[in-house]
């Protein structure tokens, strides 16, 4: 009873925090609905700015609904006894081998992905459509979901078989083996993602020869940055949101530019965006990110190792002793209730890295101007919220706001020129 009570409290605490942050953000955006704050006046096109307020408010409504909807579904799944009942039904007919247990986890995963689909579709085809972002057709949207599902099964099922097998085969220290397997898996995915998975969803083509390519290669050379390829991705097939990123590691890494980015920016601006991406690598963010993710995986498996051995936990949720698979599903579903509170910590680290990459780009290009212009373009075209509530952005934002980044870029520019 105590455990179930604590779980209810954790669910309610998270919903309350999420709704409250959302409400703070709505108030802050509404304040500037009709008139730009003084620090924005003239810097952003006024009709884009107003539209960004509308977009922020429309998204906030969806998010409020989503928060409550998610919590409701989580509660139903956790408290209804659905998990142990489904487990008994499946193992009753197929037996209790590792293969069957892993299949059970996959089936639960598929079933639990269904309730979110209508909302996803509504966001894509109503909300994003209304603000002119959507380029996805219904057909493409469905094909994407099916591909994601097949990929999830093809990758997830064998991985689950291994982890569940380790629990049976390696005894009490299974979690350490599980950790090793998972880290190896992450490293393989780093290499496979850009080569195999990304091309399943998007067309990637080498950046054509020309002045832009020369400029970008010259920049990489100046920065002493080795890259195996600069590619253009057809992001425009789904959305007009634009972006740039790089994937892979070491000599496998490649820069990916959205076609929407290339279409909307000057060569100087794209160069500045790439310099920012190179900055992430040069400042060691990629390696730090990898180490952090390995540590998080270790802690995660350590906690799993402890929890799997607690008989009272099985009792509390109606699982028979030794029904590890449903317990793992339950822990997977509820772990977010604890890790949610660490969100601001992870984002604070990420924002620090963004400032460092911006500073690197400013130095590599020799002036802050093109990056400031590029960020302004991105903010305008993506209708970014320019005035988030500081608590909201402090909690959820992985990047500093446009105002913060511009201020830092211009400040550092002034310091180094002095």
CB of 331 to Zn ion, least distance (A): 32
User: What residues numbered 132-171 form the site for Zn ion, per CB under 5 A?
Assistant: none
Least distance in angstroms from the C-beta of 359 to Zn ion: 12
3-state helix, strand, coil in the chain (%, to 5): 75, 5, 20
Residues 190, 115: Cα–Cα separation, whole Å: 30
Min CB(287)–Zn ion separation in Å = 15
Structural tokens at position 122: 């509504």
Give me the residue label for tokens 């076609």: 259
Q: How far apart are CA 152 and CA 135, in angstroms?
A: 25
Nearer to Zn ion, 74 or 274 (CB): 274
Which H or E element spans position 204? Answer: strand 204-206
Residue with smaller CB distance to Zn ion, 101 or 382: 382
CB of 192 to Zn ion, least distance (A): 23
Question: Which position among 128, 271, 277, 380 bears the catalytic label?
Answer: 277
CB of 245 to Zn ion, least distance (A): 8
Region binding Zn ion by CB under 5 A among candidate stretches 97-105, 242-250, 320-328, 357-365: 357-365
CB-based contact 367:357 (threshold 8 Å): no
Q: Which of 70, 128, 271, 358 is catalytic?
A: 358
Q: Which residues of 302-332 are buried (b: 16+ CB within 10 A; e: fewer)?
A: eebbeebeeeebbebbebeeebbbbbbbbee
Distance CA 305, CA 176 (A): 8
Counting residues that bind Zn ion (by CB under 5 A) gives 2
Of 70 and 354, nearer to Zn ion (C-beta) is 354
The C-alpha atoms of residue 272 and residue 277 are separated, in whole angstroms, by 9
| 232 in Cβ contact with 243 (< 8 Å) | no
Told to judge if 234 belongs to the known catalytic residues of this protein, a careful annotator would answer no
Query: How far is 22 from 144, CA to CA, in rounded Å?
Result: 29
Q: Which stretch binds Zn ion (CB under 5 A): 36-44, 286-294, 334-342, 354-362?
A: 354-362
Q: Which residue stretch of 228-236, 301-309, 353-361, 406-414 sits at the interface with Zn ion (rule: CB under 5 A)? A: 353-361
Residue with token string 């290339």: 262
Q: Which is nearer to Zn ion, 182 or 372 (CB)?
A: 372
* Stretch of residues binding Zn ion (CB under 5 A), selected from 104-112, 209-217, 347-355, 372-380: 347-355
Residues 12-71 that bind Zn ion (CB under 5 A): none
How many CA atoms are closer than 13 Å to the CA of 129, on its beta-carbon side?
10
Other Cβ atoms closer than 10 A to 85: 12
| CB 193 to Zn ion: min, Å | 18
Give the contact letters, 303-342, x = binds to Zn ion (CB under 5 A), - = no: ----------------------------------------
Q: Is 358 a catalytic residue?
A: yes
Which sequence positions are flagged as catalytic? 277, 358
Residues contributing to the site for Zn ion (CB under 5 A): 354, 357
């Amino acid at each position: 009873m105590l455990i179930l009570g604590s779980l209810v409290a954790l669910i309610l605490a998270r919903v309350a925090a999420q709704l409250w942050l959302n409400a703070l953000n709505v108030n802050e955006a509404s304040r500037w609905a009709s008139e730009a704050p003084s620090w924005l006046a003239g810097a952003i096109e006024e009709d884009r700015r107003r539209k960004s307020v509308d977009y922020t408010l429309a998204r906030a409504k969806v998010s409020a609904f989503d928060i409550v909807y998610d919590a409701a579904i989580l509660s139903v799944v956790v408290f209804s006894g659905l998990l142990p009942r489904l487990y008994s039904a499946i193992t009753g007919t197929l037996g209790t081998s590792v293969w069957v247990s892993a299949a059970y986890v996959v089936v639960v995963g598929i079933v639990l992905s269904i309730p979110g689909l209508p909302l996803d579709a509504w966001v894509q085809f109503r909300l994003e459509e209304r603000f002119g972002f959507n380029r996805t057709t219904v057909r493409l949207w469905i094909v994407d979901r099916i591909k994601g599902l097949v990929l999830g099964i093809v990758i997830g099922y064998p991985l689950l078989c291994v982890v569940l097998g380790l629990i049976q085969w390696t005894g009490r220290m299974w979690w350490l083996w599980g950790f090793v397997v998972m880290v190896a898996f992450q490293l393989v995915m780093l290499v496979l993602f850009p080569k195999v998975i990304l091309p399943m969803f998007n067309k990637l083509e080498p950046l054509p020869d020309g002045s832009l390519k020369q400029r970008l290669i010259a920049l990489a050379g100046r920065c002493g940055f080795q890259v195996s390829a600069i590619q253009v991705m057809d992001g425009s097939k789904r959305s007009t949101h634009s972006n740039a990123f790089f994937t892979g590691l070491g000599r496998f890494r490649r820069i990916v530019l959205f076609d929407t980015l290339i279409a909307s920016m000057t060569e100087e601006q794209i160069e500045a965006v790439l310099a920012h991406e190179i900055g992430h690598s040069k400042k060691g963010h990629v390696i730090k990110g990898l180490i952090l993710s390995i540590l998080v995986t270790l802690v995660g498996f350590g906690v799993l190792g402890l929890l799997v051995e607690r008989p009272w936990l099985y009792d509390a949720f109606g699982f028979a002793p030794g029904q590890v698979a449903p317990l793992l599903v339950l822990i997977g579903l509820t772990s977010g209730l604890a890790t949610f509170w660490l969100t601001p910590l992870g984002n604070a680290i990420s924002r620090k890295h963004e400032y460092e990459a911006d500073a690197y780009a400013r130095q590599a290009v020799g002036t802050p101007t093109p990056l400031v212009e590029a960020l302004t373009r991105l903010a305008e075209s993506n209708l970014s919220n320019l005035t988030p509530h500081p608590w909201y952005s402090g909690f959820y934002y992985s990047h500093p706001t446009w105002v913060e980044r511009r201020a830092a870029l211009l400040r550092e520019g002034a310091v180094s020129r002095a």
